[in-house]
């Protein structure tokens, strides 16, 4: 009997086991292992660099990648010893917020590339790094490294890329670097000093060399001309002197060159014509001389050309750039060019940036530039020239372009406004131009009697008391070449554009509170003291550098260098705030004695591209000023202080002159074209002639009528330059017409916000009082929501949300962000207009009420619309910005529901939409208010947010309503919805909160405009009767507007009038 496995089968099993064992042993012998000593090195590195959490074992390398790493970009090479040994060859730990120092043990790794850029690594670069003989790339950019550049790096015979930029490395450039086979060398933004070693010219493999923003000095070595492979050369922001060597003409492969902000001298050389591969050339802020050589016409590949601040002949001609058709960016600023603008500029189809400012350009602006304005040209700066003729109308047609025509000699402008959208026209007309709009004239002359002896401005900051003086706030919006005017006292003009986006009102958190804010301009910043009494003054300019850091990082290396001129005389040249003050955040004062002879003081700060231009980022780092004080050196007449005189003058104007003007106008003695009312209009407001407006509106033909405002009809018009306008014609029979007119012009002209309707100007001739606004293509929100079939505009949910947030932002600006705190008083759907993109803009500031102090106050005059007025305002005239919040809440309900608050009555007992909303809220069915026309195409979450915010805004108690800035935050989901809180209602009162209503004689409920100044004793009695107030025997009183106001209080008002 046989059992078990046969001997032959055992034999085969034995053979199979041998093969399996052999295969397993081969696998073990072929495993890709990191040597033990290298593993220990990697572990040591992990312990030295903070925030680097990773583990490593001999088996971590798999297929050239790294296993179990927590930071990516670690690469292995497993081709050593026939694939049995792996080495870590590439490490890229950039931008991981690593800190600590660089471990010396890196030298024990066979690295090919090491990148530790964009971290917080500090300390010196270990000299042992020069022992990594396999290294081809070393990138340590943007850390906090300090100490000297180690000469040992010169031993890295394979090194092709060396980037040590944006650190705090000092000393000189080691000559040993010349032995490296570098393709790219970047040492920019360090405090490296001494001259450039001539040996650098021996790196003939070099293609990119950047030494920007260091402290290098001496002459440019001619040996650099041997770098015939060089494509990029950046030497800006250093202290070089001497001329540009002729040998530079040998670098014929150059594509990019920048030598801005240095002291190199001599004429701009002809050999620049050899750089035919060049696409970018920047030679700004040097001490070189013109003219610009004709050889520049050979650089036909140029896309960016920037030359500024050339010295030399006083009458240089415009260079021949006609063949440079690829230009996208052209700056020829302050180059002493005395010529006209050539027509070929208008043929540069790719041009988007043009700066020809601070020259002596004459003649007219070529008409063919107009098509560039409508295509690609976004920025055009022609400020400080002698251009003449009429400013062309096409300049004003595109609101998206930034144009600066200030300080020229034009004879005429199509609109009398010193700042029109993004166009700066301040001082753009000659001093002899026929205009009463003085801010347009050269020199900003003042027509009236001079009255100011002093001036105190907290530049870029809020009002502040300092050393016994009150410095006015300077929070006017500025930015890209804008002009702002503070009444008739002073003006500010800024020129240029920042490459990096940041506010020109800059705030710091270091140093004295007086020096924590500043105004900064990209290029040129002017302050004008206006209406000043002639005489000698002491001008104190306060400075503090607050944009750079004070630690040992490259950001502390920033150097802001600019010139300061007063009354046309340069008092400070190459002024460096940080150097003069001895550090960051330290205040410094420079004072000067100057004469005012024409009642105007001009302070001019100008940046000539000197100092650093790439710390912390590449861009413009123009002049910065913290505060200005101007005091008289002469005795003030009568011994009265400057402040007292200013106060007296202002008081007289407010309390005497303006009332007299109103009386004279009402009596018919004043009202012609030269009416004194114009003297009180903000100089930023454009003035139009009646002839212009009649032509624009076809003599106010009924076909052009687009609506009826609170004080008269509104017409559509088209100006001669094609600008579409809306003209509000104030009714001559309106008792409040003149007052509201002057109020509206003064208010709106000072306000600029994307969600406010822009006021273009005004017209005062005879009995005509006209306001000229921007035209809104889609009319009012009321028309869009309630216009009826064929008249309304279908608004989808995202658009409704955008409109609601836009209204909230506009009100937040009026209440909290504007220099003048304003309560609108009549927010409703008809006073919200929609532009072509259905963006909401608040209109009709004729009823605006200045809220100049922080205190709640009682208005003696009520103006608003029934159904939208807050109860405390409608019944008691109690006015705060919370009245607008209430009105906003009503409008928000209308936006969600698509129904009018005053006309929608789902049931007879509900007077307003708001009543029904409260009922649905108590029933938990608030979502039923959403417009049925939306179907299911809306966000129920966003709808509930808007509805809850709306009811929160209509709280009966004004103190429990949120601010508009909080409303914006809630609507945008950035802030939580506040829980609604209502005052306790007495028993017997209706659970609903009824908005104030007035019944007509027919008993219907109509929307009415309410003005308490026209309410007589009799009419108020009739309104109390209409309220159906109960008799004194009744045990309760009907709630009309809030739990705190009843018919009894309304009757008391009648009795008080007896």
Q: What is the pLDDT of residue 418?
A: 84
Strand 524-529 to strand 601-606: parallel, antiparallel, or no bridges (unpaired)? antiparallel
Q: Write out the E strands in 235-279.
A: 239-241, 256-258
Nearest to residue 576, comparing CAs of 237, 172, 216, 289?
237
- Interatomic CA distance for residues 286 and 311, integer angstroms: 9
Residues of the chain with pLDDT under 50: 1-3, 20-21, 23-30, 68-71, 500-511, 640-685, 733-737, 846-861, 981-1058
Domains defined along the chain, listed by start: 446-634 (2.60.120.430), 671-774 (3.30.200.20), 781-1057 (1.10.510.10)
851 catalytic, yes or no? no
Name the nearest CA neighbour of 433 among 416, 419, 449, 450: 416
What is the number of other CB atoms lying within 10 angstroms of the CB of residue 239?
Answer: 14
Q: Which helix (H) or strand (E) holds 1056?
A: helix 1047-1057
DSSP letters, 292-310, are PPGGGGG-TT-SEEEEE--
Is the four-CA dihedral 290, 291, 297, 298 of positive or negative sign? negative
Q: What is the CA radius of gyration of the chain?
A: 37
Measured distance CA(437)–CA(447) in Å, rounded: 10
Pull the structure tokens for residue 100.
């600590």
Tokens of 820: 């003048």
End-to-end CA distance of the chain: 138
Q: Token pair of 933, please? A: 């026309």
* 3-state SS, residue 329: strand
**840 near 807, Cβ under 8 Å?**
yes
Q: How many CB atoms lie within 10 A of CB 380?
A: 25
pLDDT tens for residues 974-995? 777 765 544 333 333 333 333 3
| CA distances, 551 to each of 145, 164, 400, 818, 977 (Å) | 12, 18, 40, 36, 42
Cα dihedral sign for 928, 929, 935, 941?
Answer: negative
For residue 281, what are the CA distances in angstroms to 58, 275, 299, 348, 376? 52, 10, 10, 18, 21
In the block, which residue shows the tokens 């004695």? 593
Within the chain, what is the greatest distance between any pair of CA atoms?
144
User: SS3 breakdown of the chain: % helix, strand, coil, rounded to 5?
Assistant: 25, 25, 50
Integer Cα distance of 726 and 719 in angstroms: 10
Tell me which residue has tokens 């109308």.
393
Closest CA to 529 of 423, 636, 642: 642
Please return the burial class of 659, using the count of CB atoms within 10 Å of its CB with bins 0-12, 13-18 and 19+.
exposed
990: which DSSP letter? -
- Helix (H) / strand (E) element for 7: namely helix 7-29
Residue matched to tokens 């300090």: 146
| 238 φ/ψ angles, rounded to the nearest 5 degrees | -130, -170
DSSP sequence for 778-841: T-BHHHHHHS-TTTS----HHHHHHHHHHHHHHHHIIIIISSS-EE-S---GGGEEE-TT--EE
Out of 826, 844, 884, 915, pick the active-site residue: 826
Cβ atoms of 446 and 427 within 8 Å: the answer is: no
* Count of residues making up the chain: 1058
The Cα 742–Cα 393 span in angstroms is 28
* Cα dihedral 591, 592, 597, 600 in deg (nearest 10): -40
CB neighbours of residue 698 within 10 Å? 14
The predicted model scores a pTM of: 0.60
């Amino acid at each position: 009997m046989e059992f078990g496995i046969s001997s032959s089968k055992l034999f085969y099993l034995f053979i199979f086991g041998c093969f399996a064992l052999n295969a397993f042993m081969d696998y073990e012998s072929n495993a890709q292992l990191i040597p033990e000593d290298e593993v220990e090195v990697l572990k040591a590195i992990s312990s030295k660099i903070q925030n680097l959490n990773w583990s490593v074992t001999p088996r971590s390398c798999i297929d050239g990648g790294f296993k179990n790493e927590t930071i990516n970009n670690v690469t292995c090479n497993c081709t050593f010893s026939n694939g049995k040994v792996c080495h870590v060859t590439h490490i890229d730990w950039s931008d991981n917020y690593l800190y600590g120092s660089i471990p010396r043990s890196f030298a024990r790794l066979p690295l090919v590339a090491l990148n530790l850029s964009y971290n917080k690594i500090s300390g010196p670069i270990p000299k042992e790094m020069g022992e990594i003989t396999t290294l081809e790339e070393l990138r340590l950019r943007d850390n906090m490294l300090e100490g000297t550049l180690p000469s040992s790096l010169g031993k890295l015979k394979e090194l092709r890329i060396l980037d040590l930029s944006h650190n705090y490395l000092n000393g000189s450039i080691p000559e040993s670097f010349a032995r490296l086979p570098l393709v790219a060398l970047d040492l920019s933004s360090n405090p490296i000093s001494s001259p450039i070693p001539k040996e650098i010219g021996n790196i003939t493999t070099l293609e990119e060399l950047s030494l920007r923003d260091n402290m290098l000095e001496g002459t440019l070595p001619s040996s650099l001309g041997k770098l015939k492979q060089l494509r990029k050369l950046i030497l800006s922001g250093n202290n070089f002197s001497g001329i540009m060597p002729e040998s530079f003409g040998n670098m014929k492969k150059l594509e990019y060159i920048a030598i801005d902000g240095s002291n190199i001298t001599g004429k701009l050389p002809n050999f620049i014509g050899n750089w035919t591969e060049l696409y970018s050339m920047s030679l700004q802020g040097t001490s070189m001389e013109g003219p610009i050589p004709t050889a520049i016409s050979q650089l036909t590949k140029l896309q960016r050309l920037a030359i500024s601040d050339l010295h030399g002949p006083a009458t240089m001609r415009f260079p021949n750039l006609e063949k440079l058709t690829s230009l996208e960016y052209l700056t020829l600023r302050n180059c002493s060019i005395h010529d006209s603008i050539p027509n070929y500029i208008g043929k540069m189809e790719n041009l988007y940036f043009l700066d020809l400012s601070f020259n002596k350009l004459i003649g007219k602006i070529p008409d063919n530039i107009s098509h560039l304005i409508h295509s690609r040209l976004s920025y055009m700066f022609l400020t400080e020239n002698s251009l003449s003729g009429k400013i062309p109308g096409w300049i004003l047609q595109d609101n998206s372009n930034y144009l600066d025509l200030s300080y020229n000699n034009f004879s005429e402008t199509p609109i009398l406004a010193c700042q029109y959208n993004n166009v700066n026209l301040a001082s753009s007309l000659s001093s002899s131009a026929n205009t009463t709009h003085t801010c347009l004239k050269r020199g900003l002359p003042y027509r009236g009697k001079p009255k100011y002896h002093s001036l105190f401005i907290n530049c870029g900051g809020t009002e502040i008391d300092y050393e016994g003086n009150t410095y006015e706030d300077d929070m006017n919006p500025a930015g890209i070449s804008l002009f702002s005017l503070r009444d008739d006292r002073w003006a500010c003009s800024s020129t240029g554009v920042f490459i990096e986006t940041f506010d020109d009102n800059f705030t710091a958190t270091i140093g004295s509170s007086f020096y924590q804010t500043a105004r900064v301009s990209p290029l040129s910043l002017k302050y004008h003291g206006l209406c000043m009494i002639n005489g000698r003054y002491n001008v104190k300019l306060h400075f503090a550098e607050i944009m750079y850091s004070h630690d040992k990082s490259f950001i502390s290396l920033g150097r802001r260098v600019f010139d300061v001129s007063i009354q046309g005389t340069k008092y400070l040249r190459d002024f460096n705030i940080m150097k003069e003050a001895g550090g960051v955040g330290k205040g410094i004062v420079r004072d000067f004695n100057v004469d005012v002879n024409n009642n105007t003081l001009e302070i001019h700060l100008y940046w000539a591209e000197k100092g650093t231009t790439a710390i912390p980022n590449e861009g413009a780092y123009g002049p910065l000023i913290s505060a200005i004080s101007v005091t008289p050196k002469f005795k003030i007449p009568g011994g009265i202080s400057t402040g007292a005189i200013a106060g007296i003058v202002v008081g007289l104007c407010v309390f005497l002159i303006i009332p007299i003007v109103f009386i004279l106008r009402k009596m018919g003695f004043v009202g012609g074209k030269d009416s004194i009312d114009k003297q009180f209009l903000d100089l930023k407001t454009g003035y139009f002639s009646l002839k212009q407006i009649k032509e624009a509106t076809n003599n106010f033909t009924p076909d052009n009528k687009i609506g009826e405002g609170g004080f008269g009809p509104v017409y559509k018009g088209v100006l001669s330059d094609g600008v579409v306008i809306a003209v509000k014609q104030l009714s001559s029979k309106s008792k409040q017409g003149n007052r509201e007119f002057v109020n509206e012009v003064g208010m709106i002209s000072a306000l600029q916000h994307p969600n406010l309707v822009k006021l273009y100007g005004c017209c005062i001739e005879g009995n005509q009082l006209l306001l000229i606004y921007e035209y809104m293509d889609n009319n009012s929100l009321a028309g869009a929501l309630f216009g009826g079939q064929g008249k309304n505009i279908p608004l989808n949910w995202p658009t409704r949300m955008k409109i609601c947030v836009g209204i909230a932002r506009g009100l937040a600006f009026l209440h909290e962000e504007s220099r003048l705190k304003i309560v609108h008083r009549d927010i409703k759907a008809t006073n919200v207009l929609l532009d072509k993109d259905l963006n909401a803009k608040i209109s009709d500031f004729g009823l605006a009420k200045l809220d100049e102090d922080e205190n709640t106050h009682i208005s003696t005059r009520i103006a608003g619309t029934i159904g939208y007025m807050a109860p405390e305002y409608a019944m008691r005239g109690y006015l705060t910005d919370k009245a607008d919040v209430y009105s906003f809440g009503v409008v928000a309900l209308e936006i969600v529901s698509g129904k009018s608050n005053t006309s929608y009555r789902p049931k007879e007992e509900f007077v307003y939409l708001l009543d029904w909303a409260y009922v649905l809220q108590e029933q938990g069915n608030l979502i039923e208010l959403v417009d049925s026309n939306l179907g299911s195409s809306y966000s129920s979450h966003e709808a509930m947010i808007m509805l809850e915010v709306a009811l929160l805004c209509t709280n009966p108690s004004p103190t429990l309503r949120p601010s508009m800035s909080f409303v914006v935050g809630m609507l945008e989901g950035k802030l939580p919805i506040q829980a609604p809180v209502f005052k306790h209602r007495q028993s017997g009162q209706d659970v609903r909160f009824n908005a104030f209503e007035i019944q007509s004689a027919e008993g219907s409920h109509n929307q009415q405009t309410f003005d308490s100044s026209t309410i007589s004793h009799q009419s108020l009695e009739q309104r109390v009767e209409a309220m159906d107030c109960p008799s004194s025997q009744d045990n309760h009183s009907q709630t009309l507007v809030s739990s705190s106001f009843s018919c009894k209080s309304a009757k008391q008002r009648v009795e008080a009038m007896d």
